[in-house]
C-alpha cells in the first residue's frame, strides 16, 4: 500500500463530497484531487523525478494543500521547512536532504533568495506568486501522471524541532506514515464522512499526521492560514469541527477567549493536546469547556503515538494512578520501557529512568546521521531523553528532559513540579520554570509567569505556594511576573532552553 493509491481511491469514492475548506474556498474530493494532479504535473515538468526531495515553506493555505497532494501524486518526497526558523536552518535542511527544488509562498521568498546559487543540488526556487497562481496551475494538465510508487519509498522527511545544534532529519516511508495514521485514530472516536478536522497547527508538521487519515475516511480538512484564538473559537462552532490538534500554548490561548465556555461544541469528538506537557490546572479548565472530547497525545518526531488517551481515562480517578499528572496510557500498539541510563536495563513499574519506546512507523535512524542514530535507537527502542516512570495500570509519567532537571544543593528538582503548582493560581496563564546559576547551591529554581492582571498577584504569594506544596527547598528564588506571552519555538512550543540561556551567559557553564 502507498499513500498516493489510497488517497486516489478515497477521492473516487467521495468525489462529490466536501474535502477541503481553506479561507473562502470549498473543494470537493474531485476538485482537490484535480488540483493536486495539476501540481504533480507542474513539478514533473521541471525535470523533477519520482523520489526527488522538494522542500516547502508556506502556511496552511489552499496552495499548501495543492503541494501536499501534488507531491504524493508525483511521488515527490516533501521536506517541510519551519517558517520561523533562521535562513541558515532552511539552508541546512535542504542541503542535508539533497533537495532539488523548494516551493515557497511569496511572503517568505526573501528567506530563500539566492539559495539556489549557494546549494549545489538546489535547482529551482519556485516562488508561488499571489497573483497569477491560479492561471499558472490551470495551465498544467489535470490527468493523473500515475507514476510508480513503492511502499518503502520516502514520503516525507521531517526535522526535529530542537533548539540547539543542527536539526536532525527523520524520514518516513509511505508504509510508516500509513502505520502512524492508523495508530493515531485507533483509540479515537471513529471518523464519519463529512466530519471536519481543523488544522490550526501547520499541516507540514504535527497536525499533518491527521490530514491523510481524515482524507481516507471521507472527512473534511479545514486549514487555517493564520492562528488567532478568537477566530479558532468561531470556526469550531460555525464549521462544526469534530477533530483538531492543539499545543498546550494554544489551548491556553483559546481558553482565554471571552465567552469560550458558552459556544456550541456539540460536533466536537476529539480535541487532541500534544507537542508538549500540559499542567493539571489547564486540563481541568479545558475539560470544563470541552468535556470528554479532550484527548492527550505523547510522542516525538522519531515515533508517535506513544500514548493516546481520551478524557474518560485521563480526567478521571484510577486506583494506584494519577491520570491527570500522567502523559496518558501507553498506546496498544506501542511498547514502553523505562531504562536505567547507565546500564540500559529495563526497570520495574514505578521506578524512575529514561522513557524508551518501540512502535510501528518509528524511524529506523536519523537521515544520514549514523552517530546520532546509534545514540537514539538502541536495541530497536527510541531513547527519548525524557525522564519518567510507568505505573502498573499503564499510565506513563514524565518529570522532564534529562538536561532540564535542576540540581540544587544536592536536591533534584523537576521544573514541571513547580509549573503544576504555579499554574493553579487563577491569574496565571502561562508558566515556565528552570534552573539558574547559584553561587552556593550550583543552581536554583527560577520561574516566569504570564498573568492576566499583575495587580491581583504578588511574587511572594507565588513563591509561598510552591514552598507550601513542595517544600521550602524547592521554592523558586524568584518569580518574574509579566503580561506578555512567553517565547516559543518555531513549532509553537515553549522552550526552557531558549528562555534560560541568557541567565547562563558569562558563567562559563551551560545548562
List the domain boundaries for the chain.
1-172, 405-504
Element of type H or E holding 30: helix 29-45
Amino acid 408: pLDDT: 83
- Indicate the pLDDT class of residue 476, thresholds 50, 70 and 90: very high
Residue 509 has pLDDT above 60, yes or no: no
Residues 96-145 have pLDDT tens digits of: 999 999 999 999 999 999 999 999 999 999 999 989 999 999 999 999 99
- Indicate the pLDDT class of residue 511, thresholds 50, 70 and 90: low
Amino acid 496: pLDDT: 83
Residue 469 has pLDDT above 90, yes or no: no
Rounded CA-CA distance 213/241 in Å is 16
CA distances from 281 to 288, 324, 423, 460, 485 (A): 11, 9, 6, 20, 18
Residues 291-342 have pLDDT tens digits of: 999 999 999 889 999 999 999 999 999 999 999 989 999 999 999 999 998 8
The grid cell for 364 is 529506523
* Most confident range, picked from 61-65, 89-93, 415-419: 61-65
DSSP for 458-472, please give it. Answer: -HHHHHHHHHHHH-G
Mean pLDDT of the chain: 92
Amino acid 508: pLDDT: 55
What homologous superfamily is domain 405-504 in, according to CATH? Answer: ANL, C-terminal domain (3.30.300.30)
Q: What are the residue ranges of helices labelled H in 328-408?
A: 370-376
* Most confident range, picked from 81-85, 242-246, 418-422: 242-246
Amino acid 439: pLDDT: 78
Residue 485 has pLDDT above 80, yes or no: yes
Closest-CA residue to 224 (of 254, 206, 202):
202
What is the average per-residue pLDDT within 17-22? 98
What is the average per-residue pLDDT within 424-446? 89
Q: What is this structure's pTM?
A: 0.84
Amino acid 163: pLDDT: 42
CATH 2.60.120.380 fits 1-172, yes or no: no
Residue 164 has pLDDT above 50, yes or no: no
Amino acid at each position: 500500500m502507498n499513500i498516493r493509491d489510497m488517497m486516489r481511491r478515497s477521492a473516487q469514492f467521495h468525489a462529490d463530497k466536501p474535502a477541503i475548506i481553506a479561507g473562502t474556498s470549498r473543494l470537493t474530493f474531485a476538485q482537490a484531487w484535480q488540483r493536486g494532479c495539476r501540481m504533480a504535473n507542474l513539478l514533473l515538468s521541471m525535470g523533477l523525478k519520482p523520489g526527488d526531495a522538494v522542500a516547502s515553506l508556506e502556511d496552511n493555505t489552499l496552495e499548501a494543500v495543492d503541494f501536499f497532494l501534488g507531491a504524493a501524486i508525483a511521488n515527490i518526497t516533501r521536506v517541510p521547512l519551519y517558517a520561523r526558523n533562521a535562513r541558515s536552518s532552511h539552508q541546512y535542511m535542504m542541503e542535508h536532504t539533497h533537495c532539488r527544488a523548494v516551493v515557497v509562498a511569496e511572503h517568505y521568498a526573501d528567506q530563500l533568495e539566492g539559495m539556489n546559487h549557494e546549494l549545489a543540488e538546489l535547482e529551482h526556487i519556485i516562488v508561488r506568486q499571489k497573483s497569477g497562481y491560479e492561471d499558472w496551475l490551470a495551465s498544467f494538465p489535470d490527468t493523473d501522471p500515475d507514476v510508480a510508487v513503492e511502499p518503502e519509498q520516502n514520503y516525507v522527511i521531517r526535522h526535529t524541532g530542537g533548539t540547539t545544534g543542527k536539526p536532525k532529519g527523520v524520514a518516513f516511508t509511505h508504509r510508516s506514515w500509513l502505520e502512524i495514521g492508523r495508530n493515531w485514530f485507533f483509540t479515537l472516536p471513529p471518523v464519519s464522512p463529512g466530519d471536519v478536522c481543523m488544522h490550526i497547527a501547520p499541516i507540514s508538521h504535527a497536525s499533518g499526521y491527521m490530514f491523510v487519515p481524515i482524507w481516507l475516511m471521507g472527512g473534511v480538512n479545514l486549514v487555517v492560514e493564520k492562528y488567532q484564538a478568537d477566530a479558532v473559537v468561531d470556526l469550531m462552532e460555525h464549521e462544526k469541527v469534530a477533530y483538531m490538534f492543539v499545543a498546550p500554548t494554544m489551548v491556553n490561548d483559546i481558553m482565554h477567549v471571552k465567552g469560550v465556555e458558552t459556544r456550541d461544541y456539540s460536533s466536537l469528538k476529539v480535541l487532541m493536546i500534544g507537542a508538549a506537557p500540559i499542567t493539571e490546572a489547564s486540563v481541568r479548565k479545558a475539560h470544563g469547556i470541552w468535556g470528554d472530547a479532550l484527548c492527550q497525545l505523547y510522542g516525538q518526531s522519531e515515533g508517535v503515538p506513544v500514548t493516546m488517551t481520551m478524557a474518560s481515562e485521563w480526567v478521571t480517578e484510577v486506583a494506584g494512578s494519577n491520570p491527570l499528572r500522567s502523559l496518558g496510557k501507553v498506546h496498544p500498539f506501542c511498547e514502553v520501557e523505562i531504562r536505567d541510563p547507565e546500564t540500559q536495563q529495563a526497570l520495574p513499574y514505578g521506578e524512575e529512568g529514561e522513557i524508551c519506546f518501540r512502535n510501528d512507523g518509528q524511524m529506523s535512524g536519523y537521515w544520514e546521521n549514523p552517530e546520532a542514530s546509534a545514540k537514539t535507537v538502541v536495541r530497536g527502542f527510541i531513547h527519548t531523553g525524557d525522564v519518567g516512570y510507568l505505573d502498573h495500570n499503564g499510565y506513563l509519567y514524565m518529570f522532564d528532559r534529562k538536561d532540564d532537571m535542576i540540581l540544587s544543593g544536592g536536591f533534584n528538582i523537576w521544573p514541571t513540579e513547580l509549573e503544576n503548582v504555579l499554574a493553579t493560581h487563577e491569574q496565571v496563564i502561562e508558566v515556565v520554570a528552570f534552573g539558574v546559576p547559584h553561587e552556593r547551591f550550583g543552581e536554583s529554581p527560577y520561574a516566569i509567569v504570564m498573568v492576566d492582571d499583575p495587580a491581583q498577584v504578588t511574587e511572594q504569594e507565588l513563591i509561598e505556594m510552591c514552598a507550601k506544596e513542595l517544600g521550602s527547598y524547592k521554592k523558586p528564588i524568584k518569580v518574574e511576573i509579566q503580561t506578555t506571552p512567553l517565547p516559543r519555538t518555531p513549532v509553537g512550543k515553549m522552550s526552557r532552553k531558549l528562555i534560560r540561556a541568557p541567565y547562563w551567559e558569562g558563567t562559563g557553564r551551560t545548562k
